[in-house]
Amino acid sequence: MKISFVVAVYHNEGAVSGTHEKIRSVFANDLAQHEYEIVFVDDGSKDGSLPEILRLREQDSRIKVISFTRNFGQMAAMLAGFKEATGDAIINISADLQDPVELIPQMIEKWQGGAETVICYRTDRADTLSAKLFSRLAYGVLRMSLPQIPPGGFDFVLMDRKVMDAFNAIDVRHRFFQGDLLWTGYRTSFIPYIRLKRTIGKSQYNFGKKLKNFLDAVLDASYLPIRFISLVGLITSALGLLYSATIVFSWLRGETPFEGWAPLMIVILLVGGMIMVMLGVIGEYVWRINEEVRKRPNYVIRDKHL
C-alpha cells in the first residue's frame, strides 16, 4: 500500500525537516512494508521554508513540492495537496510537529481493519489559555448543528482513496474541512490525543485567521445562523405584540404607559441593533454567493516539483 502525506507549509522553516525525518523514521522502523510520499504545499511563505523543502526533495525522491504565488490560507494548501496525492490512503498532518507522528501506525491499522476515515481528535492542547478558550467556544457553537464533530476538533486525519475522491469532488469556495469530511458519511474511527506544544518557530494562525475559519465553518456547514435569525425574529415579534397589548390596555384605562422618550429609544436601539446583526449575517451569505458566482480558484500555483 502507498500512503500519501499532505503537509501545508506557511513559515515553518526548521520544522519541515523534522516533520520529514519523523515520517521517514516511522516507515523505516514500523511500516517498512508500505510505500509513502510527502506532498509539501508552500502557502506563500516569506521565510526559508520553500528552499528547505526543495533541499529535502533533492535528498528524497518521494517528496513532491507545490508552491503558491502568495498566501491563500491553510485550506487552499490542503486542497492543492489532496489533488496531487496518489496514495491508497492520504494523511493530512501539520508541518509544525504538533501532531504526534507516533500515531500513524495505529491510524493505518484501523484503516486496514475497515475504517474508511481515521480521525485523530484533540482532547487537549499545549496552547495559551486564550487559544483554548476560543477553541472550546468555537467548537461548542459548531456542535449545536454538527454534533458529530469531536469537542476539540481535528486536522490530523487519514482518508481512504474513495473518501479523498469524494472530498475532492466538492467544488465550492470557503471550504470547512471537518464538516465536508464528516458529510461524506464514510465509516469513521476516532483516536484521541493531546496536541503537542510548538517548539520551532511561531504560529501564524492569528485571531483574524481563526475568526475567518470559524465563520467559514458556521456559514458553510451549519444552518445555525439562519435558525438563530428566525428565532430572534419570532421572539422579538412576540415581545412586540405583548408590549403593544400592554399599551392598548393602558390606553383603555386612561393611563400613560410611560413618561418621556427613554423607553421608546431603548426599544428602537435594541430592535435596530438586532436588525443590523441580522443584516450582517445575511451579508456574509450574500458575499459567499458572490464568490461562488465569480468562480475564482481557491489558489494559484507558481511551481510544481512532482
| Domain, as residue range, for 193 | 2-222
Question: β-strand 63-68 against 89-92: which pairing, if any?
Answer: unpaired
Residue 135: predicted pLDDT:
67
Say yes or no: 25 and 42 in one domain: yes
Residue 39: predicted pLDDT:
97
Residue 217: predicted pLDDT:
61
Residue 170 gets the label, from left (phi > 0), alpha (psi -120 to 50) or beta, of: beta
Cell 390596555: give the residue. Answer: 249
CB 60 within 8 A of CB 35: no
Whole-angstrom distance, CA of residue 223 vs CA of residue 285? 11
Q: Is residue 302 part of a domain?
A: no
Whole-angstrom distance, CA of residue 225 vs CA of residue 289? 16
Q: Is residue 300 part of a domain?
A: no
Q: pTM for this structure?
A: 0.73
Say yes or no: 129 and 258 in one domain: no
For range 252-266, the mean pLDDT: 61
Say yes or no: 178 and 68 in one domain: yes
Does the structure show a pLDDT above 70 at 148? Answer: yes
Sheet holding 35-42, edge to edge: 188-195, 117-125, 154-160, 89-92, 2-9, 35-42, 63-68, 301-305
The number of CA neighbours under 13 Å toward the Cβ of 305 is: 20
Q: What percent of the chain has pLDDT over 90?
A: 40
Residue 219: predicted pLDDT:
61
| pLDDT digit string, tens, across residues 211-244 | 666 666 666 655 667 667 767 766 776 776 676 6
Residue 27: predicted pLDDT:
92
- Number of neighbours of residue 221 by Cβ within 10 angstroms: 20
Q: Is residue 31 part of a domain?
A: yes
